[in-house]
Amino acid sequence: MSMLFEARSYFLSKVVVFKDSLFSYLIKTNSGKSLESAIRGWLPKELENANVVEYSTNFTVPSYFGCLGVVLVTNLQSKEFYLMEIVAYLPLQTPDILKDLRREDLLSIRGNGKGERKHFERVYDYTTYNDLGNPDKDDDLGRPVLGGHERPYPRRCRTGRLPTNTATFSNEDTPFTCFTEIDKLHNYGVLVKHNEDQKDVFEKLLLSSLIKKAINAGEGLFKYSIPAIISRDRFSWLRDNEFARQALAGVNPVNIENLKEFLILSKLDPAIYGPPELLITKELIDQELE
């Protein structure tokens, strides 16, 4: 004798293809799992809520199957759907019937750390940016690898994409051989060349009129402005105090001064920037001091 179960699934978005499996509360072996029952393109039942779609399917199980414990719904589409009636359990509170299913689910979404990462995998191991360029297509599209020993930052989560067949950079690609060549960018400039195809591309970009005029000039001289720190003293950035100042200031160095008076008063125009008294109080500073 067999029993007929009708499993109804409610979704917040329409899913045409999925399949269900029943699990009994009395699972001790694989006998507690029913065969899969698939729904393929069935018409959903009309409900009052237009955002809810109902599908139904039938299962035939033996009489010793036991009480219905779990309905396992597998989505065969790439789009997500949302079940309206669901019970969530903490790991320590997971019923025995769900422990194997939960373990299989964690293994599937964790990945094995090999091959290309799937969109559903929860991967937290880091790797390098090794696919920023495409030197297999064109040598000019080569880009350095970021996140390795030479360039440790930035890094990203593992993707597992295959590396390019062509070396990203060769020794001939090194733009500067000494600091004197860097100084030439400020003193003499660099000659800019481009062909007609590149000119058409630049014309379509949303660039300022000044940049477009420089591009339309054809072959011209591009000269970098001298950084303020070098304009005052060419070797100042080699000294320890300047190195420390830039290390504290970050990638956008500003003027750092020793605090001599407290409360702190801003030197900016109050008419533009508001009251000169800063909101940094002694209490806030004491909280940050070790």
What would the pLDDT profile of 12-26 be if each residue is shown by its tens digit? 333 333 444 545 444
Domain coverage including residue 26 = 2-96
> What is the pLDDT at residue 175?
61
Query: Are both 121 and 157 inside the same structural domain?
Result: yes
Rounded Cα gap, residues 28 and 99, in angstroms = 12
Domain count across the chain: 4
> What is the pLDDT at residue 165?
60
> What is the pLDDT at residue 36?
64
> What is the pLDDT at residue 17?
39
**Backbone Cα Rg of the chain:** 33
Rounded Cα gap, residues 87 and 83, in angstroms = 10
Residue 151 lies in a domain: yes
Q: Is the pLDDT of residue 164 over 50?
A: yes
Which tokens go with 166? 């062509």
Query: Are both 162 and 190 inside the same structural domain?
Result: no
Query: Are both 255 and 284 inside the same structural domain?
Result: yes
Rounded Cα gap, residues 182 and 223, in angstroms = 12
Query: Are both 77 and 40 inside the same structural domain?
Result: yes
Query: Are both 88 and 63 inside the same structural domain?
Result: yes
Instruction: Tell whether pTM > 0.75.
Output: no
Residue 134 CA, distance from chain mean position? 20
Residue 121 lies in a domain: yes
Report the range out of 36-45, 155-164, 271-280 with the highest average pLDDT. Answer: 271-280
Question: Quick one: which of 254, 177, 185 has its CA closest to 226?
Answer: 185
Residue 103 lies in a domain: no
In order of 71, 78, 108, 150, 201, the CA distances from 21 in angstroms are 6, 20, 18, 52, 56
Query: Are both 170 and 209 inside the same structural domain?
Result: no
Residue 9 lies in a domain: yes
DSSP the chain: -EEEEEEEEEESS--SEEEEEEEETT-SSGGGBPPPEEEESPPPBP-SSTT-EEEEEEEEEEGGG-SEEEEEEEE-SSS---BSS-----GGG--HHHHHHHHHHHHHHH--S-SSPPTT-----EE-B--S--TTT-GGG--PPBSSSSS----EE---PPPPSS-S--GGG-S-SSHHHHHHHHHT-EEE---HHHHHHHHHS---HHHHHHHHTSSEEE-PPPPHHHHH-TTGGGSHHHHHHHHHHTTS--------SSS-B--S-HHHH--SB-S--HHHHHHH--
Last residue of a domain, one of 96, 119, 152: 96
Residue 248 lies in a domain: yes
Q: What is the mean pLDDT of residues 234-255?
A: 70
Residue 105 lies in a domain: no
Query: Are both 73 and 130 inside the same structural domain?
Result: no
Minimum mean pLDDT range among 4-8, 90-94, 186-190, 258-262 = 4-8
Query: Are both 56 and 86 inside the same structural domain?
Result: yes
Query: Are both 155 and 71 inside the same structural domain?
Result: no
